[in-house]
Structure 1
Amino acid sequence: MKPPRPTLFDFHGVPMTHIFTDDWENIKHFQARPDDILIATYPKAGTTWVSYILDLLYFSQTRPDRQTSMPIYERVPFLENKKPNHPSGTDLANSLDTSPRLIKTHLPVQLIPKSFWEQKCRVVYVARNAKDNAVSYFHFNRMDSVQPEPGDWNSFLQNYMEGQMAFGSWFDHVTGWWERKQSHPKLHYMLFEDMVEDTGREIDKLCSFLGLTSTAAEKEQIRRQSQFDNMKKDDMANYSSAIVMDFKISPFMRKGKVGDWKNHFTVAQNEQFDEEYHKKMNNTTLHFRTEV
């Protein structure tokens, strides 16, 4: 018998599941360090990709053993994760022996522990266009037993548009972080579509933001290593050791493309989504591409 899937509940105005809130006191009071780098995303926006690139940028020369002996979710702990019988994300982050510590989160901006702002930590935020993001999140929820039951594609899409997802509304998430970027100079806002279009260019921008002086050869090696097909084959990056995920249903790293939404959205769904999108994204300067 498989354990029942979790259900959503309201947590400080954001739909969440217990796995991401059970450690809340430790999350809320987490002590960031000035050189910590926080990788923030809405789920299924390229989190693992950027985590992998940052880990290579910082440690491929000095700690190459990390890439072959530690899965990415140990190298870059998921701050709010609290699975039963596993170390919590805060415990894993506190046990990291690297400088900087790379830590990931899916929390909306208003729930981020205060110490990250107080310590003026650098934050890398990655956003993905809503249509591809919805498709990716749907397939992820199908295979990840700690996510709520997704239902069929149409009902999932309706819930997605209404923000009834773990971590809340995509619209609120991406615009909330975009607004914070305007007043927080240490926040680098990346778009998944830009990374797909020219990974090397986006690595250059990351290095510039982080003050890293990697050589052209090192950056090219990282660009090659972080290509989707290479990461998908890498057992330290593809989550194949995560027992809560059923790869028979769908792989954790599925396609990594821009425009796969066209294989899922019906004409009617697309029209409804566009109408909702224009309503909710009308007052922001943030713009996405749904094809590259």
Structure 2
Amino acid sequence: MFSVRRRCSLNIDKRQNRPFVEITANGSNIPLRGENWQERWCSLPISEEYFKRLYEFEVKDDDLYVVTFPKCGTTWIQEACWLLVNNLNFAKANAEDLPFRSVFMDLSALYTNIPKNTIDLAEQAASPRVLKSHLPAHLIPKQIWQKKSKIVYCARNPKDMVVSYFHFHRGLGTWQGDINEFVEDLINNDIMYCPYWEHIMDFWRMRQEQNIFFTTYEDMKRDLRSVLIQLNQFLERPELSEEQLQQLEKHLSFEQMKANKRVNPTFNIKSGHGSPNVRADFEFMRRGVVGSHKDELTPEIQKKLDDWIAEHLKKINIKLEDIFGII
């Protein structure tokens, strides 16, 4: 069972130029106890009909699901997963765009000018499928939890995430305010896919489950090789040789990823396959660094985020570095 209700927020209508709804579902079979999933709402510009198709999506036994909150290293970990699942098929990776090799299931719900329905594409994809979603744990296809499908989850520290997410929406033309207003709306759960903390903490708490691989953007920046080795083991793939690891590390470097039109959709988005109001200076991949908030956010905004972070982490008695390491 799931529920959809109109999101009542003047900020969403004023700054994001599209109607939002709040969605919840009963969260059956999720291996977390004591949660009232019916009180967990996620803000999205999505129709009830489209969400029903997502929630009822037919899961296959060999599916792999890449799940993240937006702007948390999704494309990076997604490309790594696809290559490992597909025996390092660099020839295909360099010949076909990532969104067709690894479908973003939610995409058609978010933007009106996507040429093909992304649920249809996901259904038609050849196995083994590597499918992407930004939905929180209780809203991803329910059969994932019933069948215990493999999930790879990548998190990112909230201060860097918010910088990247702001520039993403500003560049697409789907955000009309400044970064201070964006932070306010994120804190108030008025940004797409919010709330952030519940999104990442549900998966962090499930990180010991056999079907879940939890990593962070920061871990990948610190030691990509170690993450790739662990991910390869989780996916039960043959051991990687030194030469294969070097190939992967080179292909997945930020410089290579940003220059690679097969994984960096900047050109396609500017060509009209995205928001109709995209800005000329839009960049899907910008800096690719840890700690970008230090030189992009004012001390006042950083303090506001620090207070928000402390408020949420106090509830579960952990520190930010317990998840992301020293930032």
| Gap change, CA 1:151 and 1:233, over 3 Å in 2 | same
Please name the residue that 1:87 is paired with: 116
- 1:152-175 deviations in whole A, cap 9, x for unaligned? 011011111222111112111111
**Correspondence 1:142-291 to 2 at 5 A:** 142-145=170-173, 148-182=174-208, 184-213=209-238, 214-239=240-265, 240-242=267-269, 243-244=273-274, 246=278, 248-284=280-316, 285=318, 287-289=322-324
Matched, 1:9 2:21: yes
- 1:92-133 deviations in whole A, cap 9, x for unaligned? 111112x32100000011111111112221100000000000
Give the structure, 1 or 2, with the largest relative contact order (CA under 8 Å, sep 6 or more): 1
CA positional deviation for 1:207: 0.9
Please name the residue that 1:47 is paired with: 74
Please name the residue that 2:37 is paired with: none
Distance 1:22 1:87 in 2: 17
TM-score if structure 1 supplies the norm length? 0.90
| Gap change, CA 1:69 and 1:22, over 3 Å in 2 | farther
RMSD: 2.0
Do the aligned partners of 1:79 and 1:89 also contact (CA within 8 Å) in 2?
yes
TM-score if structure 2 supplies the norm length? 0.81
The one-letter code sitting in structure 1 at the alignment partner of 2:20 is L
Gaps of 5+ in 1: none
Distance 1:186 1:141 in 2: 32
Do the aligned partners of 1:40 and 1:104 also contact (CA within 8 Å) in 2?
yes
Do the aligned partners of 2:172 and 2:282 also contact (CA within 8 Å) in 1?
no
Distance 1:151 1:219 in 2: 43
| Gap change, CA 1:34 and 1:150, over 3 Å in 2 | farther
Equivalent residue pairs, number: 283
Do the aligned partners of 2:85 and 2:235 also contact (CA within 8 Å) in 1?
no
CA positional deviation for 1:203: 0.4
Q: Matched residue of 2:215: which SS?
A: strand
Gaps of 5+ in 2: 1-15, 25-40
Q: Matched residue of 1:208: which SS?
A: helix
| Gap change, CA 1:282 and 1:73, over 3 Å in 2 | same
Please name the residue that 2:61 is paired with: 34
